[in-house]
Every structure is written in structure tokens, then in C-alpha cells.
Structure 1
Amino acid sequence: MKIKKLLPFIFGLIFTTISCSSDDVDLNPNYPSEFINTWLESYEESYGIYRPSDYKIFPESIYRQSYTFMINNECEYLVLSPVDAHYIEKGYWEYIEKDNVINIYNPDKELFKKLKVTSIAAELLQIE
């Protein structure tokens, strides 16, 4: 008798688990090779300017945003902490060419950030 009462709950739990799977997001594997790099915010130049991490010795900074875009749509990004305990988060990324947008997803493949790309080259990533 108890099993009959639990069956709807069990099926509901299974359905919820399957439908909320983090694999639901299909990432676009097509992107220009110039993106594959570690990009550091170069706010001394202008807002939205990012340079490769080995571009120059950057001045000391309390916080300098960074993104590392890797093959297989994996990435790492610096997360700003309100108590200055900034940390690197691993996630996923994709480039949507028709919109010139980089979508960055957290480890659960939930959209974390959108970056509107205005220019990409070997030594420059510029966003709006």
C-alpha cells in the first residue's frame, strides 16, 4: 500500500532530475582560434580591452578580470569576492558568431555572463 503512494513521488523525482540535467545546453563548438588564450582586462587602455596574459607586465591591481578560453568549450574566469577572496571558477563557453557574443556558463551550465565582442585578434579582445 505504501509503495503505491510513493510511486508518483518517485516518478516525479526521476522526471525532475532528468529534466534539470546540466547537459541540456548544447555548446557551439565553432569559434575563431584567436579566442583560445588567457585574457586579462587592460582597463588602463580603455574599458572593454583585454590582452593576452603574456602581452606585457600589467600594473598591480586589486582586481583585474580574467577569462581563459580553452578548446572543448571549457573556460576559467575570475570571480569577484566582496571580501577580496577572489577565486577562479571553471565553466564553459561558446561563441555565437551571428551575434558576436561569448556566452559563459558556470559549472552547472547555467548562463553566467554574456560578452559582446567588438574585435578579436591575436593580441586584442575588445568587448562592449
Structure 2
Amino acid sequence: MRLISYSFFCSILLFSACSLKTNGDDSSTDINLEELTQHWVHSYEEEPQGSDVSVYRPHDYKEFPPSRFRMQYIFEADGYCTWFYLAPDDGHHFRPGKWQLDAQDHKVIIIEQDDEILRYRITELNKEVLRMQLLGKI
């Protein structure tokens, strides 16, 4: 019986560590990596006018209206990502990058795009939406 209780306790601890979550109300300091690691497309039509929070949806969430350029990120669990690049000749293609969570604040994601490093605060994350506020460029 004691072995079962100990195993159950360890399972609860492991589950808690793997499901780091935020629900958009700043009640948690971590995010769910399984929800983050997918292909996100900027859905700027959903952003309130004047908002500094960008809205992203999974690439298969809906058929997005035509747009000259729509930022996209594909976050991988290993810390690598690809991001959509708009070339000077108006060409669109994905480029490799890296991402990580800030060591002090796990709601802050740091994205390395070529020579540019962007910092975003994740304000909401679930399977269907990623909302990020640009904190600045490093």
C-alpha cells in the first residue's frame, strides 16, 4: 500500500511539472509546452483596434482571409522554430530560428530570428489561441 501511495504521489508531481499552464489571467507563471509547440498563424483580424497583443491561431483553425503577409511561427519542443519571412522581393518562406522561455518569467518567450531577438509576453495560451504582447527587441 505504501508503494502505491508513493507511486501515486510521484505521478502527481510529474504530471504537475509537465502541464505548466496559463489561462490568460496571470494566475500562473508557466505555460503548457504541448499547447505552444505547434504551427501558429497571425490572425490580426481578431485584434481589437489599438491593441498591442497579437493573436495567433493554429494553421488549420480556419481558412484565413487573403493577406499580403501573415506572420507564422512553428515552435518545436526542442527549442527550435521556423518563422515566416517576407523577403525584400515580396517572397515568402520559412527560416530557421530558436525559442526559449525566460528563466525568470516563464510567460515570456524569447524568439531568435536571424540577428534579431524578440521578447513576447504570452498573455493567453490554449490549443486554439496564442496571444502575445511584444516586449521589445534585444
TM-score (norm 2): 0.62
Aligned partners of 2:94 and 2:86: how far apart in 1? 9
Structure 1 residue 111, shift from structure 2 partner? 5.0
**Alignment match, 1:6:** none
Cα 1:117–1:59, aligned 2, differ >3 Å: closer, same or farther?
same
Aligned partners of 1:31 and 1:45: how far apart in 2? 23
Q: Do structure 1's residue 127 and structure 2's residue 132 form an aligned pair?
A: yes
- Counterpart of 2:132 in structure 1: which amino acid? I
- Counterpart of 1:84 (choices 90, 100, 120) is 90
**Alignment match, 1:103:** 110
Structure 1 residue 112, shift from structure 2 partner? 2.5
Deviation string 1:58-109 (CA, Å, 9 cap, x unpaired) is 11111000000011111000122232123211111112272521111246xx
Aligned partners of 1:112 and 1:87: how far apart in 2? 19
Report SS of the residue matched to 1:33. helix
- Counterpart of 2:84 in structure 1: which amino acid? L
Report SS of the residue matched to 1:34. helix
Tell me, which stretches of 5 or more residues in structure 1 are unaligned? 1-29
**Alignment match, 1:40:** 41
Report SS of the residue matched to 1:61. coil
TM-score (norm 1): 0.67
- Counterpart of 2:122 in structure 1: which amino acid? V
Greater than 6 Å deviation, 4+ residue runs: none
Aligned partners of 1:106 and 1:57: how far apart in 2? 26
- Counterpart of 1:48 in structure 2: which amino acid? S
The structure whose residues are more often helix, as a share, is: 1
**Alignment match, 2:56:** 50
- Counterpart of 2:111 in structure 1: which amino acid? I
Cα 1:126–1:57, aligned 2, differ >3 Å: closer, same or farther?
same
The structure whose Rg is larger is 1
Cα 1:118–1:90, aligned 2, differ >3 Å: closer, same or farther?
same
Aligned partners of 2:70 and 2:130: how far apart in 1? 15
